[in-house]
Amino acid sequence: MSKIPDKPQDIFVDLTGDYKKVFGKDLVSLIIYGSAAGGYYVKGKSDINLMVVLTPEGADRLDEALDIVKYWNKRRVAVPWVMTRSFIDNSLDCYPIEFLNLKNNHILVHGEDVLLPLQLKPEDLRLQVEKELKGKLLLLRQGYLETEGSSRQIRQLIIRSLTAFISIFNALIYLKQGNVPRRRRDTIRETAKLLTFDADVFLTCVDIKEGVDKLSGEEIAGVFKKYLREVENICNIVDAL
């Protein structure tokens, strides 16, 4: 079994070497994003999320990467997102929130930093923010019914959903003032100032996600009700913007 790295930086040299062997000059960039780039990596629990940028010719040779993807997956490197420059340029209007978060929270491992110069249009972000908020609200309600009241499942629902709201909050901050915090607790506090909602429940959800809370099952259920209520409140605020 391949060794799981103590920290993401431990694999950068070997990871780069393997991908260069396969793609050579067709390898434009290797980029780490997500928890491994944001300082939340936990050995044995966190995946290392990888973005591979290739030339169109390289993207036609994905079959040659099957073995290295399998090898690195055993070391908790997730199956990568594979993109080309043209795909990125042509997708900014469709996925502005996703690319905003990639731009603001990534580590360049090798090659060209294709994310740094990206410019997102405010109107694209505004439209996706509203769509994502309302969609996540529907999913939270549905997810709660699926838990059948189990505190363990409610806890997992909070953990799974929180990352999406942090991404949406970053987009809202970007729309209002351009600069986006790197830490999720700072993102929550800053968004609460801009939109005037209760930050405390989201900060408690961060505690739950990070496994540092001491909440009982009954308390978890109470947190979720407040969480759901504040998400609906934020939807109404954004509607009025």
Instruction: Find, among 188, 86, 173, 166, the residue nearest to 122 by Cα.
Output: 173
Among candidate residues 70, 91, 111, the one where a domain is terminated: 111
3-state secondary structure of 219: helix
Residue 107 covered by a domain: yes
Is 161:143 a contact under the CB 8 Å cutoff? Answer: yes
Asked which of 4-8, 28-32, 66-70 is least confident by mean pLDDT, the reply is 4-8
Q: Three-state SS string across 159-190, please?
A: HHHHHHHHHHHHHHHHHHHCCCCCCHHHHHHH
Residue 118 token pair: 């990206």
Could you tell me the CATH number of the domain that includes residue 191? Answer: 1.20.120
- Clarify whether residues 60 and 90 are in a common domain: yes
Q: How confident is the model at residue 241 (pLDDT cuts 50, 70, 90)?
A: confident
The Cα 54–Cα 27 span in angstroms is: 5
Domain co-membership, 96 together with 134: no
How far is residue 58 from each of residues 31, 54, 64, measured CA to CA in Å?
16, 5, 10
152 pLDDT exceeds 80?
yes
What's the domain range around 23? 8-111
Mean pLDDT across 68-92: 96
126 lies in the same domain as 234? yes
Q: How far apart are CA 1 and CA 13, in angstroms?
A: 19
Looking at the structure, do residues 129 and 231 belong to the same domain, yes or no?
yes
Cα(132)–Cα(118) distance, integer angstroms? 21
Strand partners, 48: 77
SS3 108: strand
Quick one: 25 and 66 in the same domain? yes
What is the Cα–Cα distance from 38 to 47, expressed in whole angstroms? 12
pLDDT for residue 220 is more than 90: yes
Amino acid occupying residue 233? N
Whether residues 137 and 98 fall in one domain: no
Q: Are residues 80 and 142 in the same domain?
A: no
Asked if residue 217 belongs to a domain, the reply is yes
Statement: residue 2 has pLDDT above 70: no
Would the pLDDT of 54 be above 80? Answer: yes
Give the whole-angstrom CA distance, residue 77 versus residue 8. 9
77 and 184 together in one domain: no
Confidence of residue 1 (pLDDT cuts 50, 70, 90): very low
Q: How many C-beta atoms lie closer than 10 Å to residue 235's C-beta?
A: 15
Q: Can you read off the two tokens belonging to residue 17?
A: 């070497």
pLDDT band at 4 (very low <50, low <70, confident <90, very high): confident
Least confident of 41-45, 132-136, 163-167, 199-203: 41-45
Model confidence at 185: pLDDT above 50: yes
Percent of the chain scoring above 70 in pLDDT: 99
Residue 161 belongs to some domain of the structure: yes
In a domain, 64, yes or no: yes
Q: Using H for helix, E for strand and C for coil, what is the string for 42-67?
A: CCCCCCEEEEEEECHHHHCCHHHHHH
The pLDDT > 90 percentage for the chain reads 82
Domain CATH for 59: 3.30.460.10
User: For residue 220, which of 139, 156, 148, 138 has the smallest C-alpha distance?
Assistant: 156
Domains held by the chain: number: 2
Q: CA 220 to CA 234: how far, in whole Å?
A: 21
103-116, pLDDT tens digit by residue? 988 999 999 999 99
5 or 18, which is more confident: 18
Identity of residue 104: N
Report yes or no: 24 and 57 within 8 Å, Cβ to Cβ. Answer: no
Query: Does the pLDDT value for residue 95 go beyond 50?
Result: yes
29 with 127, same domain? no
Classify residue 77 by its DSSP letter.
Answer: B
Question: For residues 154 and 144, is the Cβ–Cβ distance under 8 A?
Answer: yes
Most confident of 28-32, 120-124, 208-212: 28-32
